[in-house]
Amino acid sequence: MNVVVCAKQIPDPAEPGKLEADNTLDRSGKLILDESDSYGVEMALQLVDAAGGGEVTLVSMAPNGETGGLRTALAMGADKAILVSDDALSGAGALDTAKVLAAAIKRAEPDLVLAGTESSDGYTGTVPEQIAALLGVSSITFAKHIEIDGETVKVHRQTEAGYDEVETTLPAVVSVTAGVVEPRYPSFKGIMAAKSKPVEQLTLADLGIDPSTVGAAGAGQEIVSVEDAPEREAGEIIEDDGEGHARIVAFLENLKVI
Amino acid sequence: MALNRIWVYAEATDGTVAPTTLELLTKARELAGTVEAVYGGDASDIAGTLGEYGATKVYATGDLQGSLPGVPVSSALAKLITEGGEAPDLLLFGTTYEGRDVAARLSVALDRPVITNNTDIAVEGDDVVLTEPVFGGTKLVRTKFTTPGPNIALIRPKSFPAEPAGGGPAEVVTIEVPDYGTAKVTNRHVEETTGPKLDEADVVVSGGRGLGEAEKYQMIEELAKLLKGAPGASRAIVDAGWVPYSYQVGQTGKVVKPNVYIAAGISGATQHLVGMKGSKHIIAINKDPEAPIFSVADLGIVGDVHKVLPKLIEALQNR
């Protein structure tokens, strides 16, 4: 079974985020594998293992031919990667991103496409479903459990009230929640092996996509302004001297909550 | 792009319309002369509520036969828009499980962008401008559509108050579903919960990694019960499997805006702050005085949750 995993490479969320002059996110520094996608990578490795063979291919879109995050996923055990990198993609919206990823995914001819439910930087949460629509295949979002049964994928899908058992036929796109599996840490052997695994670097021209239809030029949206959000007024911060709980009780009494 | 007609994607469970839908209808009334709803299902038992909140019509697919709504509802809406001649200028969806699926597929079908995670929407001259908080809500990005309608926007729950307009029932218009898709729900599981719902509770008590171990979450449930509130959680302990995902407060979980929010053993990652910083009053207990949660707290106790919580619970029990 062949699985494609959409793997986003993002600025380290632990660092304070910065915007470029055109108000797009500054992605110029080192990029890391989005933790949200590490679950998809792990799930793919387990499913291919359970199927008794196949390949895990990463598909990513990032500026400057960045592969830092992809190497992490390759070190976990993914077999190869396709990276789309093109200056024209700066300012791309969710639909543009989906168009590019869908075109790249087609080349890998997967049985199953896995993605995180949303990225940790843009968190639109629409790209997996858009990819499915563009590929003309079925999709299930918010999976917290996945199993393959012949040509059927069976999923426990997160809902407001609990979860639904949902199934559909392959090929399909499934987005996975954080915590669906425990991502493995790359071993030393894995890290060494990752260095020689193939990363195919593509441009929009390679994918046959007209640059004017994606990226800022084709996004159909334009940032008007970026403003500081109003800050909350500073509160009272006290050290617990053994009576901290009494302050909370008094605070709640004052609000007539108790 | 002036807004003459807005469609709101309606969601409902067992005949009860979701609060997010009512919030969007209320806001839509302010922005456009004609507000209509679209619904994936049989709308006969929700037409009254939708009308009361301002929808004059509801375009409904009828029973979806167990299909996930993404494919059937988006294909039905695309057909209605491209062949029905009643296209809206704007479609509003809640940032929900179903809303995202339908909006995403519809954006492909119409080849229109979708602007996501917004907390406000305004008409400014000829522009429709959406506001999205980024960087943990410290910055607000304002974005406008540059394509002609129908455009698609996803709005976070709790962005607007829900106020009835007192209208009569919405007229139910049944629409054709060209494609039901192959994704089928075969079984539903409802997690047992008691007390108020997380996103509707007046008091929310959330626990995080600082609790140390899963068993200690009992203190959060006990405290929530004593305050007639709902227990919540940070993503860290949901990912760790201590509590179900439905407890999660934050960017990927529920957005809550209770009267009182108590964060115990939560450091206040961006992911979490986004989901709770709109609370009216915030109390934080954390042993790290540098924890970001204190930047939004009205009352912050720098201390050990294992000491503060038992005493707090005892004090409330003795009242």
- As for the ipTM of the complex, it is 0.91
Per DSSP, the three-state class of B226 is: helix
We report the CATH number of the domain holding residue B120 as: 3.40.50.620
pLDDT bin (cut points 50, 70, 90) of residue B224 is very high
- pLDDT at residue B143, rounded to an integer: 94
Give the whole-number percent of chain B exceeding pLDDT 70.
99
B311 to A16: CB separation less than 8 angstroms, yes or no: no
**A32-41, A60-69, A197-206: range with highest mean pLDDT:** A197-206
The answer to whether residues B256 and B115 belong to one domain is no
Q: Tell me: the pLDDT tens digits for B200-212?
A: 899 999 999 999 9
Domain end residue (candidates: B140, B174, B208)? B174
Q: Is residue B84 part of a domain?
A: yes
Count residue pairs from A and B with Cβ separation < 8 A: 256
Cα separation, A203 vs A61, whole angstroms: 10
pLDDT over 80 (residue B105): yes
Query: How many angstroms away from the CA of B139 is the closest CA of chain A?
Result: 5
Residue B111 lies in a domain: yes
Indicate whether B60 and B164 sit together in one domain. yes
Same-domain status, B97 and B235: no
Question: Would you state the pLDDT for residue B149?
Answer: 85
Q: In chain B, what residues touch A221 (CB-CB under 8 Å)?
A: 113, 115, 143-147
- Closest-CA distance of chain B to residue A123, Å: 8
Q: Using CB atoms, which residue from A23, A129, A255 is nearest to B259?
A: A255
Chain B residues close to A252, C-beta within 8 Å: 227, 260
Q: Cβ atoms within 10 A of the Cβ of A27, count?
A: 18
Is residue A150 helix, strand or coil? coil
pLDDT at A106: 96
- CA B141 from chain centre, in angstroms, equals 19
pLDDT digits 0-9 by tens, B151-167: 999 999 989 999 999 99
Provide the domain limits for residue B272.
Answer: 198-317
Q: What is the pLDDT of residue A130?
A: 98
Query: B204 and B162 in one domain?
Result: no
CATH code, B210:
3.40.50.1220
Q: How far apart, in whole angstroms, are the C-alpha atoms of residue A129 and residue B70?
A: 8
Question: Which pLDDT score, from 0 to 100, does residue A22 have?
Answer: 83
Give pLDDT, residue A16: 75
Q: Is the pLDDT of residue A135 over 60?
A: yes
pLDDT, chain A, mean: 93
What pLDDT does residue A44 have? 98
Is residue B181 one of the residues assigned to a domain? no
Lowest mean pLDDT segment, chosen from A65-79, A149-163, B25-39 = A149-163
* A255–chain B Cβ distance below 8 A for any pair: yes
Average pLDDT over residues B19-38: 97
The whole-number average pLDDT for the span B3-9 is 96
Distance from first CA to last CA of chain A, Å, rounded? 59
Exposed, middle or buried by CB within 10 Å (0-12, 13-18, 19+), for A198?
Answer: exposed
Query: What order do you get walking across the sheet with B171-174 strand by strand?
Result: B114-118, B151-155, B90-94, B5-10, B34-39, B57-60, B171-174
Asked whether residue B170 falls in the same domain as residue B202, the answer is no
Closest to B93 in 3D by CA, of B67, B130, B123: B130
Question: Is B113 in the same domain as B236?
Answer: no
Q: Which residue of A has its CA nearest to B308?
A: A245
The burial class, CB within 10 Å (0-12 / 13-18 / 19+), for A52 is exposed
**Alpha carbon distance B1, A37 (integer Å):** 37
Q: Is the pLDDT of residue B1 over 70?
A: no
With 70 as the cut, is the pLDDT of residue A247 above it?
yes
Confidence of residue A25 (pLDDT cuts 50, 70, 90): confident
So what's the pLDDT on residue A112? 98
Closest residue in A to B133 (Cα) is: A229
Q: Do A240 and B301 touch (CB under 8 A)?
A: yes
Phi, psi of A180 (to 5 degrees): -65, -35
Report the gap between the CA of A35 and the closest CA in chain B (Å): 12
DSSP-derived secondary structure letter, A77? T
Which of B11, B16, B90, B97 is best to mutate for the A interface (most A CBs within 10 A)?
Answer: B97
pLDDT grade, residue A255 (50/70/90)? very high
Distance from CA of A202 to the nearest CA of B (A): 23
Q: Is B146 exposed, middle or buried (0-12, 13-18, 19+ CB in 10 A)?
A: middle
* Chain B residue numbers touching A166 (CB-CB < 8 A): 68, 183-186
- Give me the mean pLDDT over the A53-75 stretch: 95
Task: Give B-chain residues touching A178 at CB under 8 angstroms.
Answer: 235, 238-239, 252
Main-chain dihedrals φ then ψ at residue B138, nearest 5 degrees: -80, -25
% of chain A exceeding 70 in pLDDT: 100
Identify whether residues B159 and B54 lie together within a single domain: yes
Contact assignment for B141 to A223 by CB distance below 8 Å: yes
Asked whether the beta carbons of residue A222 and residue B144 sit closer than 8 angstroms, the reply is yes
pLDDT at B179 exceeding the cut of 90: yes
For the residues B311-317, what does the mean pLDDT come to?
97
Q: How many CB atoms lie within 10 A of CB B168?
A: 10
In a domain, B154, yes or no: yes
pLDDT at A254 over 70: yes
Look up the pTM and report it. Answer: 0.90
The count of domains in chain B is: 2
Q: B168 to each of B16, B29, B52, B171, how far by Cα in Å?
A: 17, 15, 6, 9
Residue pair A137/B179 in contact (Cβ under 8 Å)? The answer is no
Locate the chain B residue with the closest alpha carbon to A174: B183
One domain for residues B17 and B148: yes
pLDDT of res. A172: 98
* pLDDT at A219 (0 to 100): 81
- The residues with which A169 forms a beta bridge, in sequence order, are A152
Alpha-carbon torsion (B300, B253, B213, B225), positive or negative: positive
CA distance A51 to A1: 6
A250 touches chain B (CB under 8 A): no
Which fold would CATH assign to domain A2-218? Rossmann fold (3.40.50)
- Shared domain for B135 and B13, answered yes or no, is yes
Q: Check residue B175 and give its pLDDT.
A: 96
Residue B193 inside a domain? The answer is: no
Q: In this structure, are B215 and B282 located in the same domain?
A: yes
Reported as a single tens digit per residue, the pLDDT across A174-205 is: 999 887 888 999 999 999 999 999 999 999 99
Question: Are B25 and B128 within one domain?
Answer: yes
**B187, part of any domain:** no
Interior angle at CA B76, CA B71 and CA B77, nearest 5: 105
Task: Give me the pLDDT at residue A179, please.
Answer: 76
Does B86 have pLDDT greater than 80? no
Nearest CA in chain A to B156: A124
Quick: pLDDT tens for B33-74. 999 999 999 999 999 999 999 999 999 999 999 999 999 999
Domain coordinates in residue numbering, chain A: 2-218
pLDDT for the residue numbered B15: 93
> Which segment of A30-39, A198-207, B96-105 scores lowest on mean pLDDT?
A30-39
Q: Tens digit of pLDDT for each residue in A98-109?
A: 999 999 999 999
Rounded to 5°, the CA angle B186-B68-B148 comes to: 180
Say whether A138 and B117 touch across the interface (CB within 8 A): no
